[in-house]
Amino acid sequence: MTPTPKPPLPDENEPLRPHSFDGIQEYDKRLPNWWLMTLFGAVVFWAGYWFYYERAHIGHTNAQIVEQQLAVIEATRLANAPTVDDASLWKMSRNPVFVDAGRASFETTCVSCHTKELTGAIGPNLVDHLWIHGGRPTEIYTTVTQGVLAKGMPPWGPVLGPKKISEAVAYILSYHQEGEPIEVQAAWVPPPPK
């Protein structure tokens, strides 16, 4: 069943290697120059890269680079830290632009525990007058930013940043009135699941 090998096309005068394997013949063409350059170029790059990072240590390690970047971020945050006080948060909570932006953040980030109605499930109710970690606007802001790890509230500061957190707090406050009573609650007891 082995097909007979075909002779090379007559118009070609490229030299074929003398031996054939099961009818397969081989030319012995030169290696393309651009191909060789690619190979050599990659080898040279390897040597240079290794020298730069591992021998001369001019290039920084991953950890060094990221620590530097984090320091810059920290500095930027400090420089741009907004002054958060009760009065301005209350003011924001009456501004529809802030409240709408806050609702958007709340509905992607917070509803999984506090529910869309803010009445609480895994996490506490946010529309009643009971507060576990303080009900003043700045206290709420701090709770969101720093989290309460022991109770499963993640610190949202590094993820959301001060702007989004202010908006989310404004959204929560939009359900409340300035001067309404604040009662301290010891712990959240979730309602039985639906």
Partner 1 sequence: MSGQKITIEYNDRVVRQFLLATVIWGAVGMLVGVLIAAQLNFWQLNFATPWLTFGRLRPLHTNAVIFAFVGNMMFAGIYYSTQRLVKARLASDFLSSLHFWGWQFIIVCAAVTLPLGLTRGKEYAELIWPINLMVVLIWVVFAVNFFWTLARRREPALYVAIWFYISTIVTIAMLYIVNHLSIPTSLLHSYPVFSGVQDALVQWWYGHNAVAFFLTTPILGIMYYFLPKAAERPVYSYRLSVVHFWSLVFVYIWAGPHHLLNTALPGWLQNLGMTFSLMLWAPSWGGMLNGLLTLRGAWHKLRTDPVLKFYAAAVTFYGMATFEGPLLSIKSVNALAHYTDWIIGHVHAGTLGWNGFMAAGLIYWLLPRLWNKPLYSTALANLHFWIGTVGILLYVAAMWTSGITQGLMLNATTEHGTVLAYPNFLDTLNTIRPMMLMRVIGGGLYLAGWFLLVYNFYRTVKGAAPVNGTIEVYDEAPAPDAKLSLAGTFFSAPTLFWFLAVGFSSMWMFGTDLVSTAGIVGAVACLIAAFALVPSRSQAWGGWYEKLLLNALPFTLLVFFAVVAGGLIQIIPTVLVQKAKNVEDRIQTPYTPLELAGRDIYIREGCYLCHSQMIRTLVPDILRYGDYSRLGESIYDHPFQWGSKRTGPDLARVGVKYPNVWHFRHMENPRAVSPGSNMPTYPWLFSHALDASVMPAKIKVQRLLGVPYGPRTAQQIFDSMDEQAKGIAKDLRTAGAYVDSDKEIVALISYLQTLGKSLPVITKSAPR
From 38-46, 88-96, 124-132, 133-141, give the range in contact with partner 1 by CB under 8 A: 38-46
Quick one: which of 192, 177, 186 has its CA closest to 120?
Answer: 192
Binding segment for partner 1 (CB under 8 A), chosen from 90-98, 124-132, 172-180, 185-193, is: 185-193
Q: Which stretch binds partner 1 (CB under 8 A): 54-62, 87-95, 125-133, 169-177?
A: 54-62
6: left (phi over 0), alpha (psi -120 to 50) or beta: beta
Q: How far apart are CA 153 and CA 142, in angstroms?
A: 12
8 binds partner 1 (CB under 8 A): yes
CB atoms within 10 A of CB 164: 18
Tell me which residue of 181, 180, 173 sits closest to 95, measured CA to CA.
Answer: 173
Q: How far is the CB of 20 from partner 1 (least distance, A)?
A: 8
Which one, of 142, 127, 123, lies nearest residue 187 by Cα? 123
Q: Which of 88, 132, 154, 185 binds partner 1 (CB under 8 A)?
A: 154
| Residue 127 touching partner 1 (CB under 8 A) | no
Residues 156, 144: contact at Cβ < 8 Å? yes
Tokens coding 87: 């009065």
**Can you give the binding site for partner 1, defined by CB under 8 A?**
1-3, 5-6, 8-9, 12, 16-17, 19, 21-32, 35-36, 38-39, 42-43, 45-46, 49-50, 53-55, 61-63, 65-66, 69-70, 72-73, 76-77, 80, 108-109, 111-113, 122, 149, 151-152, 154, 158-161, 163-164, 189-193
